[in-house]
Structure 1
Amino acid sequence: MTGSGKSQTLMSILLSLLTTHSADRLIVIYADFKGEAGADSFRNFPQVVAVISNMAEKKSLADRFAETLRGEVARREVLLREAGRRVQGSAFNSVTEYENAIAAGTISPRFRPYSWSPTNSR
């Protein structure tokens, strides 16, 4: 379905998120499978920690990216589970419960299971 505006829609959504959420609330790894120039528009936002382009031509890069995402999801699940056990004796059932614990002051807002930097991702 080429030309239907999917890329433009996604870029509009991303721009909206980048302009309404700070880097402590949003972290973006911009992955472009087709090698389009859209990445340049987002490269300088502090929330964008990595730009990966033209992945369609580099299968090994796409596979590695998918594996990294799976690992990051698993890491966050463990951190949220451990935080819930420390705070309430059992795992949080949702991110909303975790956010409510921060709002109530029972967990430090500095504990961010979704923080990311190139040095802690290796």
Structure 2
Amino acid sequence: MLLFSASLLVAIGLVHSYLGERYILIRLFRRDNIPKTMGSSEFTRRTLRFAWHLTTVCWFGFAAILISLSKSGLDRLAILDIIAATFLLHFLVAISGSKGKHFSWVVFLLVGFATLYAANQSLFY
């Protein structure tokens, strides 16, 4: 059942990103009344786009945790590695999607590295 749940998360993530781009974001961005944030509507567009797709990244991370749990039960190190990788991917999406202007990338980077650090510390205990 965990693998079934993981496959559903991957599927909904792919559908969410694709259909969201095609039917929501593109249509929304065609409007001429997008609010200007930090001086431009482009920043608003970029923020909406990367935030939309971060949902999919989260679902993929949860799918990976479910897959890990299906194979080995509770493997603390594997789960910490998956969480770290998920937030490092968040960092990449946020920094590239906003061109570094949306400071969520700082938090995602810190969470990713702090979680990796915790995972490495657990190797020694």
Give the TM-score taking structure 2 as reference length. 0.32
Name the one with the larger helix percent. Answer: 2
With a CA cutoff of 8 Å and minimum separation of 6, indicate the structure with the bigger relative contact order: 2
Give the TM-score taking structure 1 as reference length. 0.32
Name the one with the larger strand percent. Answer: 1
